[in-house]
Amino acid sequence: MLWALRALALVVAAASNITKKRFWTAALVVPIASLTVYVLGAFGDAPYHWNGATIEQAAIWNLLMILPLVYLVLYVLILYETIVVYPDNQNFMD
C-alpha cells in the first residue's frame, strides 16, 4: 500500500512539474490517501516503537500523518488567499 502511495505522489509531482496547470486541488488525492493509510494502519498493525518497530520506521509512519496535515493547512491558506503561490498579475505596486 505504501508503494502505491509513493507512486501516486511521484505521478502528481511529475505532472505538476511538466504542465503549467495549478495542481493544488488535484494533488489533494495524495494527502487524503496518506491519511487514509495512516488511519487504517492505526487500527491494524502500525509500525510504532512499542510494536517492535525501529525508531526510523516509527518516525516515517508518523510523518505519514503529519505531512498531509501540513499540506491541507497550506491548501486552506491558499484557498482563502492568505498566502499567494501563483500570482496572476505580476504588476506589483508598492
Residue range 35-71, pLDDT digits in tens: 999 999 888 888 888 888 899 988 989 998 999 999 9
31 domain residue, yes or no: yes
User: Does the pLDDT value for residue 94 go beyond 90?
Assistant: no
88 domain residue, yes or no: no
92 domain residue, yes or no: no
Between vectors from CA 23 to CA 31 and to CA 15, what angle results, nearest 5°? 95
Q: What is the mean pLDDT of the chain?
A: 86
User: Does the pLDDT value for residue 26 go beyond 70?
Assistant: yes
Please give the tally of structural domains in the chain: 1
34 domain residue, yes or no: yes
Q: For residue 81, name the pLDDT band (cuts at 50, 70, 90).
A: confident
73 domain residue, yes or no: yes
Which ranges in the chain belong to alpha helices (H)? 2-18, 29-43, 55-79
The mean per-residue pLDDT over the stretch 3-22 comes to 87
89 domain residue, yes or no: no
CA distance 34 to 41: 10
Residue ranges making up the domain that contains 58: 1-16+23-80
